[in-house]
Every structure is written in structure tokens, then in C-alpha cells.
Structure 1
Amino acid sequence: MTTAEAPDRADEVLRLRREVARLEAERDRLLGQMQHRDDELEIATRMLQARAQTMTSVIDAVTEQSIIGTDRDGVIRVWNPGAEKLLGLPRADVVRRRTITEFHLPEELEEAGGGLAALVRTAQEQGRDVRDWTYVSPDGEELTVSVAVTPRTDDSGAHAGWNFVGTDMTEVRATERMKDQFVSLISHELRTPLSSILGYLELVLDDPDQPLTEEQRQYLTTVERNAQRLLRLVGDLLFTAQVDAGRFTLQPEDVDLAAVVRAAEDTARVTAATAGVELLVRVPDGGLAVRGDAVRLGQACDNLVSNAVKFTPRGGRVTLTLEQAWRTTDGAVVDEPQPGAAPVARLAVSDTGVGIPAGEQQQLFARFFRASTARRHAVPGVGLGLAITKAITTAHGGTLDVESVENQGTTFTLTLPR
């Protein structure tokens, strides 16, 4: 080695030593990162295990509802004690061995389109679905179960299957059917004698050979008025029973809704005048036609107008406004036509009455519900009118909405397709 080469070699050795030192430092840094990642992974694993244990504990604690989880093909992966109790099979006999469709009534599945798709179609489109299905136990017993279906995801958020949360409604639905059958039977049994009473009252009141005194006529007119009221109540009870039993049918035809609204005004005019309530009607001069059942639409309008009059104190006002409008693709109703919007008829019945508390407005369309303002002001009624109006509106493919402020008034808006 020459004298000139010695410093170069020393520099190279020094450079290599520095590189080795750098690599060793990088190695130590990477080893430290790996240890840190190992610690994080261990913590995450313990957290996942704890979460899974918590979820399992929660699911296993539910004994009055069946919780069934499946993979994307419907193979059962989760089967809680509630499912064991409802369907009589232990978890070991079901998980990874049976599919959810095996516990459903085959005919019911076929009517809904068949297979797992029939159970999850709505949940797939809307994110959830709740409806009654018929479960079949291994011994052949059929159970009516209200089933909530939701998608199930894995830890990465990917679709992993479906959750089916079921509540046994067998006894509840049987009781409801018995109640509806009872209401229907009683309604029929009451209608016959009431019709006879009204018939004989008409004969007595209109008999020219045996004229009545003014006092007798007044008494019998009171009897007739209350008999008519009872007959309307019986008709309402019978109608609600028909709706619940699925026997409510329409006789569709072209109907001038403006004429229906004017008829409702005529029906309520005497009552409104007696109560000191002003009636205002605004309808298109040329009418407004819809496709529907004229009798049922008249019943719906009568209910809305009579309710408005009943809940409006003396000196108040009830306004009936019928106009054409358009429903957009997102469900909003607008006054002017827009691309893709469908024409509708919109009837608003507004009053300046006692109003409805905000917390009670969602219950208004339930049978026999009466707002606290109705009870407080002793407004007569049994709570069937709005339920009937809602059923008629829904059967026509329409909507019925309410806006109300207590002590300021209420507006019911009935919207029908044209």
C-alpha cells in the first residue's frame, strides 16, 4: 500500500463504520416500532375480545326476544337464548348448520318473492325493515313474530350478513283478531235494531193521520238525532274493523274533489252556524278531479270539517282550501310544476280552535286517541274520525299531515294523487 492510498482506506473504513452505526440505529428504531406495534396490536386484540364478550353477554341476556344473526347467504351465525326459547332448539344444533329461511313458513316466503331475498329486500333498500312473519318451530307450531331486519357489518365495515330481532306476537295478534271480530259482530248486531228504530221514528214523525204535538215532535226528534249519532258510531266501528281485517275496498271513479268539499261544507253549515263558527270555502271554479271513491272521500272530508268545527270556539273560523299542487321526487309538495313532479290535489282544513299539544300530534291517527285539549274542553267524540280519515287517505295513495299550535289552531292537509 502506498503512502497516498493509506488515508483513502482510513476514510473508507470510517465511512463504513458510520454506515454500520446508522444501520444499527435504524435497526434499533425499527425494533422499537415493532415492539410498539406489537403492544398496540395486543391492546386492540384485548379490546376486540372484550367488545365481543360484551356483545355476546348482552345478546345472551336477551331472553324475551330472539336475536338471530346470519352471514350473507342466510346461514345462522348468532342464536341467542331468546331464539332457543322461541323455536326450541339449542345453539349447537343451529349455528353454521341451519339457514334463517328454514324457520319461515314456505308459502309466506314464496308470496314475498322467495328465499332470503324476500326477508331482506326492504332492509337492503332502506337500511331496516319491521314486519310480521310466520316462524315455524321444529314441531310444526306456527308463530306470529314481529321481525326487525338490519344489515350486519364486520370490523372493517363491510357487509357481513343480517340481523333478525324477533318478538313473539302470536297471542297479541290473536287477541287483536278476537277484538276486531267482536267489534264487527257487535256493530252488525247494533245496526239492525238501530235501523228499525229510525224507520219507526220516521213513520211516527211523518204520519199525517196522527199528527204530533210540538212537545212530542221535539222529544222524538231528539231520539232520532241520537239514534243517528249511534248509527254513525256503529258505522265507524265497523269501518275500522274492516280496515284492520283487510276487507276495506274502494270503488274508484273520476271524482270532482271540489264538489266533495262543497258537500262537506253543506253538511257542516248548520252545526257551524249554531256554534257561532264561520265557514269559508276556497275551491277552483272549474273543479279539481281525482281518481277515487266518492263516498269514502266524502267521509274523509266530512270528518276533517266536522272536527275543525267542534274544536273551534264561538267567534272562530274554519277555512277549507282546495288547490292543485305537485309532488316532487323527494316527496315535497310545491305550488308550481317542476320537472319530474307529479300533479296532486291538496285540501287544507284550517281552524282557529284550541289546537293540539306538540307531544300528542303523532298519536292523532291512532284509534280511540283523544287529545288532552279535547278532554279539557269537553269536546264530544270517541277518537275514530281521524283514524278513519287516515285509512281512507292511505288507501287512495295520499298523505294526511297536521300542523297545530295549542290555543292558536290546527291545519290538516290531505294530499291526493291526480
Structure 2
Amino acid sequence: MTTARVPAAVRRPRLVHRLLAGVAPRAAEIGRLRQENAALLAQVRTRADELDLATRMLAARAQTMTSVIDAVTEQSIIGTDRDGVIRVWNPGAERMLGLPRPEVVRKRSIVEFHLAEELEAEAAACGAAPGLGVLVHAAQEHGSDVRDWTYVAADGQERTVSVAVTPRTDDRGVHAGWNFVGTDMTEVRATERMKDQFVSLISHELRTPLTSILGYLELVLDEDGEPLTDEQRSYLATVERNADRLLRLVGDLLFTAQVDAGRFTLDPRDVDLADVVRAAEESARVTAAGAGVDLVVDLPDGGVVVPGDAVRLGQACDNLVSNAVKFTPSGGRVTLSLRSGWATADGAVSAEPRPGAAPVAQLAVSDTGMGIPTGEQGELFTRFFRSSTARRHAVPGVGLGLAITKAITTAHGGTLGLTSAEGRGTTFTLTLPRTVA
């Protein structure tokens, strides 16, 4: 059996047809790949442009931050890694600690510039790890910390520095180290110590002779053997009144010095605030009557017991009442109001208990006097501050009473609020934790 042969002229068109049939899809595939390649090249160029822009922006931001840090010359700015090795050292640090940047960065630890004895004492007190752990343990717990530390400069000079410590993160938000911003407080703290020492010294020196004067005045006034004339008794009563005033002022100065030095202590026990208010009203009654001021007391039927120091709470209440009487013109009124209540976390106080509310006592001392300008109310509890209304109306005082009252209130875990409008009177509200039977 023989096979017929296909002529060559017939075979060639078929072969060409098959070749062309295979080339067409590949040409389409090549075209598609070229398009994808062009798209990828365009994306690469775009990403490259974005990366270049981001790099330039980061460089500009870094340059801006560096220029800002370098512009700070009055405060030291020191940045460290997680181990305390210094990475940032601004001109303020150079000036404060006496070393140029190249001698410190990546070569020294922040711990080396602290007083070793102070770090050891703090480590023992707080139980933190020695070295860097002592400096940053509070910032680790609370997110930041500000306190006085002793810096030791290159020449051995010690400086009292208020240091703000905050954690530092990298661009991914990962903890990368710590920032230490220091303000030299050496002269300020020295001045404060001298001032406190002066106040304490003068107060002690004045208290002794004043006590003696008052003692002898009491003997003279109570002498039965040789009765005094009415005129003599009047003169001596004036002397006694002013000596008492001076003695109270000395006591106030001593108290403020104790508060500043952290030596203010309490003798806590259960205290009925109603008794404290009655005593304050009795003390101010004569002065109020002489000034033509009506004194009104509004007390609940039962007692209002708080944990605290009866003497200090009495001092706070006396200050509020005497201030109210002094700032109220003749014909006005001062009201002492005591209530029990319940305070929520946001500070709101209601008469009825609420879920999560704490029992409190509220003492409000209101007057119809000259009031306090709004712009001055924030400074009213500052030592020696006197409002413009007090100066304008020549109201006597040195500006210690409210500062003392605020310190006493804070020491008892309470708050002291103020509502006032010039020409329309003032209300001070003292809120204290209350004992519930």
C-alpha cells in the first residue's frame, strides 16, 4: 500500500498558517507584558518621587527640630537611648554642664552627670533600680515626671536643676529612650531657703517678746490691788488687741514657712464641724457687730463629723469668717451654712446619695460685700496676694489668710471653691470628706 505524497507547494501554506497562528497570541502576550512593564516603571517612578519627597521632608523636619533644640540655651535638653547613653546634647546642656557635644554624644551616660549619693538615696526610698532606673521610674509609671535633681558639671560644680523626664519613641512608635529637659533652679532654691529661714527666724524672735507682753498685760488688767481708771484700761486694751494681732501674724508666718518646708503636720481625730462653725461665729461676733454686719449661722440639726485636726479646721473657718466680715460694708450680711452631702467623681455635690458618690461636708461662707474681680480670683490663694478691691478700700491684711486656709483644706483631702462677682459679694465653699456612722 503506498502513501500519497503532498506536494511541497501545498505543504508550505499550511506551515506558514500554523506559524502565524502561534505568533499572534505571543505577540498579544508581549504587548500585554510591555504595558505591565510600562505601568510598573511608572509606579516605580512615582514611589521614587514619593520617597524622595518623604526623605526631604524628614530631613527638613529633623533640621527644624535640631535648630529649635540648638536655639534653647537657657535649658539643657538631653536625649538618651534606652540604656541612658546620650544621643542629644544641646547648647543649653553644654553651658550648664561644661562639656561640648562631641565629648558627650554616644560616649557618656546621663547618670554620670547626677550626684551619686542622691541617686542611691532615691533608689533606697522608691525601690527603683540604681542608675537610670531611679531617674525614669516615675516617668515610666505616669508618662512624665518633673522634680529637682542635683547635676554635677565637668568642673565639679553642683547645680539644683528642675528636670522634666518624658519617654522618647522612634518613627514606628517604639520606645527608643528618654528626654531630660532641665532648668537651673540653683539661685531660685537658694533664695527660697533664705526667705524661709528669714521668716522662721523673725517669727521666733517676735513670738517670745509678744508672749511676754501679753502675759504682763493680763496681769496688769486683772490686778485688784490698784484698780485702773477707765482711760488706762482702754489704753491697755488697745495694746493687748494689737499685740494679739501681731501674735496671730507671727503664727501665720510660721505656718506658711512650715507648709513650704513640708513640716506641716495634723493631729487627726473626729471633729464636729458644727462646733467649729459655732466657735468661729462667736469669735467674729463682736467684730461684726462693731462693723454693723449681720452674722447669720445656718446649721443642721445633727452634727457633721469629719476626720481632721480641730485646731487647724478652726483656723481655716476663722479665716473665712473674718475675711467675709472685713470685706462686707456696714448693713451687709455674712452667712455661715453647713450641710452634709455626697460628691461624685466630677466634683458635683448633691444632698442625696448616688452610686459611687463619697460622703462630704460642705461649709459655705457667703457675704454681701465688695466682691473680687474675675481676673484676680485665680491668684487669691497665693501668699501675700491682695485683691485690688482690698487695696482700693484699704481693707487691713497681709494676704496670708486664704493661702493658709487653702493649705489646711488640701491637707485634709478637701477642696476650697470660690464664687464671686465684683460689687455683688463672695462665697467660699469648703468641702471635706465626711465620716459616716
TM-score after normalising by structure 1: 0.91
- Which protein is bigger by CA-based radius of gyration? 2
What is the match of residue 62 of structure 1? 72
RMSD, matched Cα: 2.5
How far is 1:331 from its partner?
A: 5.2
Query: Is the CA contact 1:69–1:76 (under 8 Å) kept in the aligned structure 2?
Result: yes
What is the match of residue 281 of structure 1? 297
Unaligned ranges ≥5, structure 1: none
374-383 vs 149-158, which moves further:
149-158
User: Separation in 2 of the partners of 1:99 and 1:327?
Assistant: 48
Matched, 1:103 2:116: no
Change (3 A) 1:90 1:3: same
User: Separation in 1 of the partners of 2:194 and 2:229?
Assistant: 47
Matched, 1:370 2:386: yes
Counting matched residue pairs gives 418
Query: Is the CA contact 1:393–1:416 (under 8 Å) kept in the aligned structure 2?
Result: yes
Matched, 1:404 2:420: yes
1:41-94 per-residue CA deviation (whole Å, 9 max, x = no partner) reads: 112211211111121122122222111112334332211121122222332333
How far is 1:292 from its partner?
A: 1.3
User: Separation in 1 of the partners of 2:143 and 2:432?
Assistant: 28
User: Separation in 2 of the partners of 1:93 and 1:264?
Assistant: 65
User: Separation in 1 of the partners of 2:14 and 2:58?
Assistant: 66
35-44 vs 298-307, which moves further:
35-44
Query: Is the CA contact 2:371–2:422 (under 8 Å) kept in the aligned structure 1?
Result: yes
Query: Is the CA contact 2:274–2:338 (under 8 Å) kept in the aligned structure 1?
Result: yes
2:245 is paired with a residue whose SS is helix
2-11 vs 170-179, which moves further:
2-11
1:354-387 per-residue CA deviation (whole Å, 9 max, x = no partner) reads: 2222222221121101112211222111010111
Change (3 A) 1:186 1:322: same
User: Separation in 2 of the partners of 1:315 and 1:380?
Assistant: 19
235-244 vs 22-31, which moves further:
22-31
How far is 1:197 from its partner?
A: 1.8
Query: Is the CA contact 1:147–1:164 (under 8 Å) kept in the aligned structure 2?
Result: yes
Residue 337 (structure 1) aligned to one of 353, 366, 369: 353
Q: Superposition pairs for residues 7-406 of structure 1, below 5 Å? A: 13-104=23-114, 105-110=118-123, 111-115=125-129, 116-138=132-154, 140-329=156-345, 332-406=348-422
Query: Is the CA contact 1:272–1:278 (under 8 Å) kept in the aligned structure 2?
Result: yes
User: Separation in 2 of the partners of 1:84 and 1:352?
Assistant: 58
2:214 is paired with a residue whose SS is helix
User: Separation in 1 of the partners of 2:346 and 2:167?
Assistant: 24
User: Separation in 2 of the partners of 1:183 and 1:330?
Assistant: 39
User: Separation in 2 of the partners of 1:151 and 1:333?
Assistant: 38
What is the match of residue 8 of structure 2? none
1:309 is paired with a residue whose SS is helix
Instruction: State the AA in 1 paired with 2:369.
Output: G
Change (3 A) 1:351 1:160: farther
2:182 is paired with a residue whose SS is strand
| Identity level (%) | 75
How far is 1:404 from its partner?
A: 2.2
Change (3 A) 1:13 1:224: same
Change (3 A) 1:208 1:238: same
Change (3 A) 1:16 1:265: farther
Instruction: State the AA in 2 paired with 1:113.
Output: G
How far is 1:211 from its partner?
A: 2.3
Query: Is the CA contact 2:128–2:137 (under 8 Å) kept in the aligned structure 1?
Result: no
239-248 vs 319-328, which moves further:
319-328
Query: Is the CA contact 1:108–1:134 (under 8 Å) kept in the aligned structure 2?
Result: no
59-68 vs 100-109, which moves further:
100-109
Change (3 A) 1:23 1:358: farther
Change (3 A) 1:331 1:98: farther
Change (3 A) 1:157 1:352: farther
Change (3 A) 1:147 1:9: same
TM-score after normalising by structure 2: 0.87
User: Separation in 2 of the partners of 1:180 and 1:63?
Assistant: 30
How far is 1:353 from its partner?
A: 2.2
User: Separation in 2 of the partners of 1:334 and 1:21?
Assistant: 80
Unaligned ranges ≥5, structure 2: 1-10
User: Separation in 1 of the partners of 2:133 and 2:295?
Assistant: 53
